[in-house]
Amino acid sequence: MDNWVAQVAALTRPDRIQWCDGSDAESEALNALMQADGTLVKLNDKTHPGCWLHRSDPDDVARVEHLTFVCTSEQDDAGPNNHWMSPADGHAKVDALFEGCMEGRTMYVIPYCMGPIDSPLSRCGVEITDSPYVVANMRIMTRMGAPALARIEREGERAARGERIDTFVKGLHSTGELDPNRRFIMHFPEELTIKSYGSGYGGNALLGKKCHALRIASHQARSEGWLAEHMLILGLENPQGEIHYIAAAFPSACGKTNLAMLIPPQGYLKDGWKITTVGDDICWMRPGADGRLYAINPEAGFFGVAPGTSKQSNPNALASIQSNTIFTNVGVTADNQPWWEGLGEGEPVTDWRGEPYDATKRPAAHPNSRFTVSARQCPSYSHESENPAGVPISAIVFGGRRASLVPLVFEARDWTHGVLVGAAMGSETTAAATGAVGVMRRDPMAMKPFCGYNFADYFSHWLSFDKAGAKLPKIFHVNWFRKGDDGRFLWPGFGDNLRVLEWMIGRVDGKAGAVETPIGNLPTVADLNLEGIELDEEARTKLFGFEKSGWQAEFASIGEYLDEYGPRMPQALKDEQQRIAAMLAG
């Protein structure tokens, strides 16, 4: 590690180097430094103790998928789902930008662990950055500092003794000039290396998050026999005290955090139902000795979308961010409290750019504004988050935003069908990425921006888990966003989504009913507990119905999509698509 740090220092030429230990004293010093230079603004310490506001460059507010590259020796290994560049060209292009970029700046060396420090499922990394804002966020989002460095050193000693072990992921980041024309996020999976230049935004700059925990980790997972997924993990406890753990994949800004922190409806609470939160964004799963999949949340915090977070939509998230939180690109009230659209109280006077708020000019908070907070502050936090063995997964859920066609919930018949359901998943785009909003695109397993290798190989890897002795989770698909003819949402969502989770666990336990259709097993209206909510006839028809002609067109589109990946697409998935298409035609 020392040699690599020295090489980076020689390239970037910082004024000084600081090895981060993750201590409170270090954190306080960095916050004071950023407050002095205006990078962080102290918020109202009476209402929001320990909270800060960061405003990013207006051209640096979301992931930049068109500037994100996977650099593998063979282009086909990156696949059509990734922008590709050869490793030699990738290093040359970005290293030219890193040349001397830290002159006049401090170079921070951040050792971190993704997952519990003592878990065999965890993996470590080191991020080098010139951004104290990145240090502050990585301290919240990962197990960062001295304990992580100690694990990295132990693993380095094991590797030196000849053990086959990945020591750590190398990540190099600089904000550079924050010039959109000089911005690249490069991944070198075969080298376990990340290089990110020109952005300070979370997904581009916090290299432990999407870059390591998904793009690089998905490559590691394939070679080591596990899964690195863009999924929440929640614990669902019934009145008998039995807990089932559910992993669920949704594209960014499609309700992952809300579901992960769900508060049951009042009737369910009285009966003793509980939801606990293991993670809200990323899930690493590995087969256990008993054949089940066991999962950890590699993150230690939440990097959540602020707009829409309220007492009504997600009271647990709102409670989590009342203290010790970094807010990015939100508005501010007259008494210096953070504010965003959908909060439901207060009035903004300053917008996310630091200008007087004018509703005709722009929203007070950027649509992709964020909060960074420790997961331990969440009222529904699960102490199983620190279980080195992980938690056993009973069900895997896929879902996205679909205004039409897709019903509220359906169950895949088997693992192969479930992989197809995930592979074919479509969703309307949101503000979490640059580009047009509301455009339907295929987003397999919610991993389109994050899979570090060819999707065809990724689907094959998923299929490989179905083997003798495996006790795999049941797979489901949900759509909270079905709309009626008048454009309104037909399902109330939020806490009432527990009604759907209850049906899923009933299916896992063999206790809940369903109707077989070509697209999977659907509940009838009678199979869900709908006590306390009103659904009109249109809602019942569309949420629980099956539209044959629409699904015929959908499966024709799915077939064309699978063909885009050429001969590497697993035949088993194409056969499944054709089998269902034939059933729909019958």
Whether 431 shows a pLDDT value over 80: the answer reads: no
Task: Please provide the CATH number assigned to the domain covering 229-301+382-585.
Answer: 3.90.228.20
311-339 pLDDT, tens per residue? Answer: 998 999 999 999 999 999 999 999 999 99
Residue 62 has what pLDDT?
85
In which band, very low, low, confident or very high, does the pLDDT at 435 lie, cut at 50, 70 and 90? low
Length of the chain: 586
Binding residues: 63, 201-203, 210, 230, 252-258, 281, 368-370, 401, 494-497
d(CA 317, CA 329): 17
Backbone angles phi, psi at 531, to 5 degrees: -60, 125
User: What is the chain's Cα-based Rg?
Assistant: 23
CA proximity to 254, closest of 433, 496, 63, 423: 433
Q: What angle (nearest 5°) sits at the alpha carbon of residue 399, between those of residues 567 and 341? A: 130
Cα within 13 Å of Cα(395), Cβ side:
27
Instruction: Tell me the pTM.
Output: 0.96
Whether 64 shows a pLDDT value over 80: the answer reads: yes
CA proximity to 257, closest of 240, 238, 234: 234
Residue 439 has what pLDDT?
76
Q: Which residue has the tokens 């809300």?
A: 258
> How do strand 331-333 and strand 348-350 relate by DSSP bridges?
antiparallel
Residue 422 has what pLDDT?
98
111-159 pLDDT, tens per residue? Answer: 999 999 999 999 999 999 999 999 999 999 999 999 999 999 999 998 8
Query: How many of the other CB atoms lie within 10 Å of CB of 176?
Result: 19
Cα within 13 Å of Cα(350), Cβ side:
17
In which band, very low, low, confident or very high, does the pLDDT at 259 lie, cut at 50, 70 and 90? very high
CA proximity to 398, closest of 475, 456, 464, 472: 475
Tell me the mean pLDDT in the region 227-232: 98
Contact between residue 112 and residue 21 where contact means Cβ atoms under 8 Å apart: no
The residues spanned by each domain of the chain are 2-39+64-225, 229-301+382-585
Q: Which residues, 6+ apart, have CB-to-CB distance to 460 below 8 Å?
A: 568, 570
Binding residues for Mn(2+): 210, 230, 281
Whether 432 shows a pLDDT value over 70: the answer reads: no
CA proximity to 393, closest of 528, 283, 506, 259: 283
Q: Residue 97: helix, strand or coil by DSSP?
A: helix
> How do strand 515-517 and strand 83-84 relate by DSSP bridges?
unpaired
Tell me the mean pLDDT in the region 53-64: 93
Assign a CATH topology to domain 2-39+64-225: Phosphoenolpyruvate Carboxykinase; domain 1 (3.40.449)
72-93 pLDDT, tens per residue? Answer: 999 999 999 999 999 999 999 9
d(CA 129, CA 172): 6
CA proximity to 92, closest of 1, 163, 197, 244: 197
What proportion of the chain, given as a percentage, has pLDDT over 90? 92
Q: Annotated catalytic sites, by residue?
A: 254
- Across 178-187, 250-259, 271-280, 401-410, least confident range: 250-259
Mean pLDDT of the chain: 96
Whether 254 shows a pLDDT value over 90: the answer reads: no
Q: What is the DSSP letter of 436?
A: -
Across the strands, what pairs with 124?
Answer: 113
Residue 164 has what pLDDT?
80
Residue 577 has what pLDDT?
98
What proportion of the chain, given as a percentage, has pLDDT over 70? 98
Distances (CA, A) of 142 to 227, 259, 388, 565: 19, 22, 15, 35
340-394 pLDDT, tens per residue? Answer: 999 999 999 999 999 999 999 999 999 999 999 999 999 999 999 999 999 999 9
